Structure 1
């Protein structure tokens, strides 16, 4: 073996050692995601609609990827605590945020001292969406939306409306609708859909915009009456109930949604893997059927399309928040 051959082999060996060393330090973007358990942080208590969606999604992603997905509930400040937790986490695809329309598109305008920004996150995919439904207690003697304004004007002492939380579409739609009817109405906020529905059923408050999933069983038994839904088209879950648009209030249309967010600094390759896995999961007939059985629609909106929705809705709610003068506390 001559000296040149020995030198070439030495250089080759050194190159292999260098490649192995670099391989050990390669970023997650070049590795397989998930590389360890993934935490889905939910900004609401266990058992609610957001929690149910997160657990269903996590189960499906685990089946697809072979990874472990854990749901962690970090309730408080209308989701802001959960946002802060994920913002501070390592941007490697292993700590993700299950956000909602209110948290992501309304909180930036409603909280003056917010400790996170939309730009801190990358929107992955819209998970589920649903219209709100305007319901009244059966004691309210109206059968259609057009009769509600005159009745409220004749009964000003009963002109209150319930929301499932301040600073949400349920709150702001009630405010806008009262303006539209030219009826001063008192806002009665609740801490969640369950207590809102409880008081609507009991007649403590006689009307309000509620989550369709929470209201549906009571509408089916006649314990509440539905006057309108807020989606552009009638809901397949309430096909007999007209839309606000049909009643001339199309500018009040809205659907509420839950979606998956990752820290903005997450490597593009991991974002791509996350997006592909989530879109595939939500197309799974088992997951889709489970969510639809609860009254949700399962969209196919991700990436740039989801970003566009967020931009449009953020601008809309900023105007409404400004008009109401609403300011949330931390």
Structure 2
């Protein structure tokens, strides 16, 4: 029989146990954001870091911008493989960079896929320099004005670069690639009428689109974006080969023990499903998306094979 004394003793023990759990120090977690401070990757990583406190993590975000995200990968692989470091990055740093730079020193097999923080699309947009309302209009204009038909991207050897190369190959329209150091200057030149077109991540185009300074002609997703539902997909425009659903993924080293990886994945997925986090994504024109580790790994493997074939066909390389 449970007496008042034994009940009080049990309750006190329970309170002491709970207090001990609460007093345990948070597990320190380095979140390496493969992008500059204030960019979409950085903001998503910081929002997830805030939510990870509920799982007992103290997340510290470090920015590793430059070299198309490769500096972030290098920082991850230099860290102890104990689950204390997670890289947040778009997929191209693993699915494109090793194929254009043989001296990079890492491969997709060097990391383990955890989950995704969000989804996004690339978009093809034109400015005042190109009189086009549809993708067909732009390609017809490009064929008539081959010396002027250029498109800007965030840099050589990036996904937008090779999307443009594939559009050129599949359409037969001569397109001139103009690489920028990031997307901001390209957007300025587009809005100012100095550049006919850009291929950029959708969040970069929402503001100029709403201001009437850019006309978005095509999206790379398999479905239309909720942020611009009137814009057709690549499949609708005749380029089904280019359809892809992109994301910011979370990765750790391949040598991290499976139970630690599983705990990290569970915590990040829970953080990404908090309504406040999802609303924050939508304000940045990013889509909530949480893939399982197996789903993310399958997507990365498919992207790796796809871009390897495209890059081989172009013959493009970069020296480290």
TM-score (norm 1): 0.86
The alpha carbon displacement at 1:35 in A equals 5.6
Give the alignment partner of residue 32 of structure 2, picking from 41, 45, 69. 41
2:92 paired residue number: 102
Deviation string 1:230-288 (CA, Å, 9 cap, x unpaired) is 11111110011111111221111123321111111111111111011011111111101
Measured in 2, the distance between the counterparts of 1:200 and 1:256 equals 24
Q: How does 1:310-321 map to 2 (within 5 A)?
A: 310-321=300-311
1:234 paired residue number: 224
| Greater Cα radius of gyration, structure 1 or 2 | 1
2:21 paired residue number: none
1:207 paired residue number: 197
Deviation string 1:149-183 (CA, Å, 9 cap, x unpaired) is 22112122211111112212211111111122212
Measured in 2, the distance between the counterparts of 1:269 and 1:77 equals 32
Gaps of 5+ in 1: 1-32
Structure 1 residue runs of 4+, over 6 Å off?
A: none
- The answer (yes or no) to whether the contact 2:129–2:194 under 8 Å persists in 1 is no
Give the alignment partner of residue 61 of structure 1, picking from 49, 52, 71. 52
Give the alignment partner of residue 75 of structure 1, picking from 44, 65, 73. 65
Measured in 1, the distance between the counterparts of 2:36 and 2:201 equals 16
- The answer (yes or no) to whether the contact 1:34–1:65 under 8 Å persists in 2 is no
The alpha carbon displacement at 1:67 in A equals 2.7
Between 310-319 and 119-128, report the one with greater CA deviation. Answer: 119-128
Deviation string 1:133-152 (CA, Å, 9 cap, x unpaired) is 11001342221111122211
Measured in 1, the distance between the counterparts of 2:175 and 2:284 equals 31
Gaps of 5+ in 2: 1-23
Secondary structure at the counterpart of residue 215 of structure 1: helix
Measured in 1, the distance between the counterparts of 2:25 and 2:151 equals 45
Measured in 2, the distance between the counterparts of 1:155 and 1:237 equals 32
2:177 paired residue number: 187
2:165 paired residue number: 175
Taking a change above 3 Å as real, the CA distance of residues 54 and 36 of structure 1, as seen in their structure-2 partners, is same
Deviation string 1:105-131 (CA, Å, 9 cap, x unpaired) is 111211111112222211000111111
Measured in 1, the distance between the counterparts of 2:215 and 2:152 equals 15
Secondary structure at the counterpart of residue 116 of structure 1: coil
Deviation string 1:20-79 (CA, Å, 9 cap, x unpaired) is xxxxxxxxxxxxx986421111222211111111111111112x1233111111223222
- Would you say 1:121 and 2:95 are equivalent positions? no
- The answer (yes or no) to whether the contact 1:138–1:222 under 8 Å persists in 2 is no
Measured in 1, the distance between the counterparts of 2:33 and 2:290 equals 21
- The answer (yes or no) to whether the contact 2:26–2:56 under 8 Å persists in 1 is no
Measured in 2, the distance between the counterparts of 1:82 and 1:329 equals 18
TM-score (norm 2): 0.89
2:246 paired residue number: 256
Task: Tell me how large the CA RMSD over aligned residues is.
Answer: 1.6
